[in-house]
Chain A
Amino acid sequence: MDWGFIGSHVMDFVAGAWVTLRFGLYGVGCSLVLGLLCCLARYFRVPVLRSVAHGYIELARNTPLLVQLFFLYAGLPRVGVRLSAEACAVIGLTFLGGAYMSEAFRSGLESVEKSQREAGECLGLTRAQNIRYVLLPQALATAAPALFANVIFLIKETSMFSVLAMMDLMNVADTLRTSGGRTVEVLFMLVVAYLALLLPVSLAATFTERRLRYAGFGNQHSV
């Protein structure tokens, strides 16, 4: 292992990790919003929207991100829709992530007793209030593990951004590997970089899940 080589290229990997993290988080943020909207459309059986959401979820969950990215980045421009690499990255990750997040939210919402929603309605809460104060807090507690698993999944999926010619971790490593021939060092740094990115997320997940379990919503005593 050539530590001198590693030392002189640490900053390249830091820059790559920043690209990975930044666009990963944009994607995660947008996925959460899109996922929640799709999930609510289906939960409240909003006409038309629920079918659109359902179709979208099936489409996104059953195709690889790599193919989605190629379609966005190399296919669409040929019929006149030009998007920057960064836009493709966020759109692609959101397209994929929204479907997964929606399923996670749905499992959470479905675990909330129907009587909760009805009680909220009886008390005269508007639909928005009902979602905000009654349904979501309970659903989130159940959905948290799945949501965190999705966050880790999505950040890992950003490794495909290199096909968009973005200088993310994967592309930094690839460039260094092909130019310098120090394959082992480069791969070692790649592994370390992904660990450094994902370990905190995983720890945060464990911590949050433990806190939520303390919060307990009555029905969890049996677990």
Chain B
Amino acid sequence: MQDLGISILFKGVNFQRLLLGLWVTLRIALITIGISTALGLLFGLLMMSRSRAARGFCRVWLEIVRFMPQLVLLYLVYFGFARLFGWNLEGETSAILVFSFWGTAEMGDLFRGALTSIPRHQRESAAALGLTKAQINRYILLPQTARRLLPQAINLSTRIIKTTALVKMINVTEVLKVGQQIIGQFYREPSVAFWVYATVFLMYFLICWPISLLAGRLETRWSAG
């Protein structure tokens, strides 16, 4: 009986449908990672700005993101914005908005952490050697920051990919939803549900695991050097 369940997964275009569903979440994740990285660097600079107002603004933004479950933020944008401002955003757009809002703050905080963790004497020695400000940034601060930031930024990316599973809750047809459609279609074979969910589980693992391994490897290599 259970063999039947797994064979349904590979029947017809079922597996392709699951992969297409997975692509929907991955697309959201990739766009989010792009936006979060770009805006996150700006956010990080803003967090270190001299202006108290700018720092306060970042602080509030970061706290909102830290305190509110992503699902709540999704609901706020998807259902709330429609009510408050009459914006009927599509599920996918809402998801990208919310996850970027979250990712930007997290990435900014990582960037700030990486930059401030560089010992002050690095900048001072470079200045003493007569390097210009631009040279200090380019040859001293940037490479060291990148080494500290990159492993953590990669880890954040896997978190973003995992979080995109949530878009199912705002009616986006992604891999879980497609899985449920397949389960509904083959309701006569109950074990298909087990195989569908196990497959989705494995799909996420196979995407996130190599990325995590890469982050771990970079971290050990660069922390030694």
Which positions in A face B, CB cutoff 8 Å?
58-59, 61-64, 66-68, 70-71, 74-76, 78-79, 152, 156-160, 163, 170, 173, 177, 183-184, 187, 190-191, 194-195, 198-199, 202
Contacts and interface: CB of A to CB of B under 8 A. Distances in A.
Given A63-B205, A66-B166, A67-B176, A74 B193 contact: yes
A152 B66 contact: yes
A195 B158 CA distance: 26
B218 interface: no
A159 B165 CA distance: 13
B224 to A, nearest CB: 14
Nearest to B207: A62
Contacts of B162: 62-64
B209 A62 contact: yes
Nearest to B79: A183
B105 to A, nearest CB: 14
Contacts, number: 105
Top 10 nearest A-B pairs (CB, nearest first) are A75-B197, A62-B208, A64-B165, A159-B69, A71-B197, A156-B69, A64-B162, A159-B71, A183-B83, A75-B194
Given A61-B212, A156-B69, A156-B70, 18 more contacts: A62-B162, A62-B212, A63-B162, A63-B204, A67-B200, A67-B204, A74-B193, A74-B197, A75-B197, A76-B194, A79-B191, A158-B69, A183-B79, A184-B80, A187-B80, A191-B76, A202-B66, A202-B67
Nearest to A201: B67
Contact of A79 (B165, B166, B194, B208): B194
B163 A78 contact: no
User: Chain A interface secondary structure, helix, strand, loop or mixed?
Assistant: helix
B67 A70 contact: no
B123 interface: no
A62 B198 contact: no
Contacts of B200: 67, 70-71
Contacts of A159: 69-72
B205 A59 contact: yes
A64 B163 contact: yes
Contacts of A191: 68, 72, 76
Contacts of B194: 75-76, 78-79
A26 B76 CA distance: 28
B151 to A, nearest CB: 14
B3 to A, nearest CB: 12
A173 B68 CA distance: 14
Nearest to A62: B208
A187 B71 CA distance: 11
Given A62-B208, A78-B194, A67 B165 contact: yes
Contact of B71 (A78, A170, A184, A202): A170
A79 B71 CA distance: 30
Determine which residue in B76, B196, B201 has the highest number of CB atoms from chain A within 10 A of its CB, and name it. B201
